Amino acid sequence: MTQLERIAAMEQAMLRVQKTVDALCAAPDLTGFPDAVEADIAALEAYYAGADWKRDFADDEAGILPRDLPRGVLSEDGLYHLLETIDELRARLRSQRQEDQGMNEVIQSLKTRRSIRKFKPDLPPKADIAQIVDAGLYAANGRGKQAVITIAVTDKALRDRIASDNCRIGGWPADFDPFYGAPVILIVLADKSCPTGIYDGSLVMGNLMQAAHALGLGSIWIHRAKEEFETDDYKKLLSDLGVEGEWEGVGHCALGYADCDLPSAAPRKDGRVLWVE
C-alpha cells in the first residue's frame, strides 16, 4: 500500500468511526460499536500509535502531500480527540451494560425513585403497604433506640382530614390536595426525648419511599407533619391510638399507584462532591 492509499484508507476509517461516535453520543441507549467499526477503531489506534502517522504528519507539515488530499486524520488533535471520545463512550457503555444486566440493582433503584404528584384513588393491597412500613422499621437509628413510629392511614375520612389540615397549614386554596390524590398516608413521628429522632425519622422516610418504588408504587414526602402534631387534635389522635409520650411529626409519605409516568431526575448540580484523596 502506498503512503497516499494508506492516508486515504485511514481517512475513510476515521469518517466511519466519527459517524458511529456521533450516533452513540446522540442516542446513549445504543449498546456498543458494531464489529466493522471496532475494526476501524483498531486500525486507527494502530496507525496513530505507530511510526506511519508520525511520518505522514511530518510529510504533510513539509507540504509534500497533494493539496487536495482529504487529510482530517492528520490534523494535530482530530484523531487524538476521537480516540479519547471513544474511551469515554466505552466507559459509559460498560457501566450502562452493568446496569442493564441487573448489577447494582439496589443502587439503580435508589437512583430511579422520584416523587410522584398524581395518584390513582385505588388502594394498594394491604400486604404491600405493610411491607413498605416494615422496611421503614429497618432504617439506621441513633444508638439503636428505634424511637420512631409510623402511622399507616388508609381510612379515607382520616386521610381527607389530614389533607385538609395540611392544606390549611400550607396556606393553599381549600380545594388543593397536598397529597395529590394518594389514598395512603404513612405518618412518621419521632420521640421528642430522642436527640437523633428527626434524623432517624428522615431515614425511615427514605426507606418508605425506596420500598414503595421497589414494589412499583409511587410515593412522595409531604411536609408539615410537625405543625399538625403540635395541635391538640393530632395529639388526641395519638392518645386515641394508645401512643404515649411526646412526639414530633417528621413527615408524611403519601403512597399509592402513580397516575403518571415516572418523572426523570433533574440534572444533578455540579460541585456537590468533594474528594480528598
Ligand X SMILES: Cc1cc2nc3c(=O)[nH]c(=O)nc-3n(C[C@H](O)[C@H](O)[C@H](O)COP(=O)(O)O)c2cc1C
Q: Which residues bind ligand X (CB under 6 A)?
A: 114-115, 117, 220-223, 265
Q: Which one, 16 or 223, has the nearer CB to ligand X? A: 223
Residue recorded with cell 466493522: 36
Residue recorded with cell 375520612: 157
Cβ 127 to ligand X shortest distance, Å? 25
Cβ 171 to ligand X shortest distance, Å? 12
Q: Which one, 14 or 220, has the nearer CB to ligand X? A: 220
Residues in the chain, total: 277
Distance CA 143, CA 105 (A): 29
Cβ 197 to ligand X shortest distance, Å? 15
Q: Which one, 20 or 166, has the nearer CB to ligand X? A: 166
149-150-153 Cα angle (round to 5): 150
Dihedral-angle region of residue 121 (phi above 0 means left; psi in -120 to 50 means alpha; beta otherwise): alpha
Contact 138, 211 (CB under 8 A): no
Q: Which one, 83 or 215, has the nearer CB to ligand X? A: 215
Cβ 187 to ligand X shortest distance, Å? 13
Q: Which one, 7 or 148, has the nearer CB to ligand X? A: 148
b vs e for 173-190, b when ≥16 Cβ sit within 10 Å of the residue's Cβ? eeeebbbbbbbbbbbbbb
Contact 217, 125 (CB under 8 A): no
Give the SS3 label for residue 259.
coil
Cβ 224 to ligand X shortest distance, Å? 7
Cβ 265 to ligand X shortest distance, Å? 6
Cβ 45 to ligand X shortest distance, Å? 41
Distance CA 57, CA 65 (A): 10
Q: Which one, 71 or 113, has the nearer CB to ligand X? A: 113
Distance CA 125, CA 159 (A): 17
**Partners of residue 255 on adjacent β-strands:** 184, 219
Nearest to 156 by CA among 187, 178, 125, 182: 182
258-264-268 Cα angle (round to 5): 135
Q: Which one, 133 or 222, has the nearer CB to ligand X? A: 222
